[in-house]
Amino acid sequence: MKHPLEIFKEERKENIEKLGKNEKLKKLALEFITESAKFKYSYNFDWLGRPFIQLPQDIIAMQEIIWNVKPRLIIETGVAHGGGVIFYGSILELIGNDGIVVGIDIEIRPWNKEKIMGHPIYKKGRIKLIEGSSTDQRVASEVFELAHGRKPVLVCLDSLHTHEHVLKELEIYSPLVSKGSYIVVFDTIIEDMPDELFKDRPWGKGNNPKTAVMEFLKKNDRFVPDKEIENKLLITTNPDGYLKCIKD
């Protein structure tokens, strides 16, 4: 007789597969994301007191990934208000390993830096901040030094959303990710949304994180989009962006 938990997991897996085939729900999810983006919906949420500019569904997905992978280093490009580094650091603290988060941003504004550095998770020694471009050789060298002996590594790309920049980030940091871990490329949804939403941005249709992912995957067979994550979330800013490493 199957254990009740095993039955539960099997049922959930079946339902997730059905969700992935439900075009009506997928269309509704995209409509929700598109319409709510007009009001900056993803700006509405905090994690332990710091703004974390992500959809709640993607926050939950990241928690699941961190729990399953148990990384000893999380790299986040794009720090903003610091909610991401606080979130990643807090989950590592709960797991209880020696993992740290490296937050990279071309500019960490003083008022944000003050709040991050005054936060209890920072004081636990879980967070390191690096100012500079994530594609700069100096920054990359510093990150690779920190990554030495710290496998597994989880990479979260959420800085400049242009095709060129994200592709460079993927090429630079993908070698750090080992089998079973992930690169998560945020805001791939840009490719699927109306271009008018990004008229004041240097990215848009044809020039965004998803186009970078598609080009990267043509040349790199170590990663595949984890469609199960995307299918169970439905509402996500990262379609085809949860890249699972399947080869060392």
How many domains are there within the chain?
1
Percent residues over pLDDT 90 in the chain:
99
Residue 139: per-residue pLDDT: 98
Q: What is the CATH number of the domain that holds 169?
A: 3.40.50.150
Residue 1: per-residue pLDDT: 87
Contact call for residues 195 and 205 (beta carbons, < 8 A): yes
- Say what the pTM is: 0.97
Q: Residue 21 pLDDT > 90, yes or no?
A: yes
For 118-172, write each residue's pLDDT tens digit. Answer: 999 999 999 999 999 999 999 999 999 999 999 999 999 999 999 999 999 999 9
For 64-98, write each residue's pLDDT tens digit. Answer: 999 999 999 999 999 999 999 999 999 999 999 99
Structural domain boundaries enclosing 200: 4-245
Average pLDDT over residues 31-36: 98
Cα end-to-end distance, the chain, whole Å: 37
CA–CA separation, 216 vs 170, rounded Å? 7
* 153-157 and 182-185 strand pairing: parallel
Average pLDDT over residues 48-53: 98
For 190-230, write each residue's pLDDT tens digit. Answer: 999 999 999 899 999 999 999 999 999 999 999 999 999 99
Angle at 56 between CA 16 and CA 32, to 5 degrees: 75
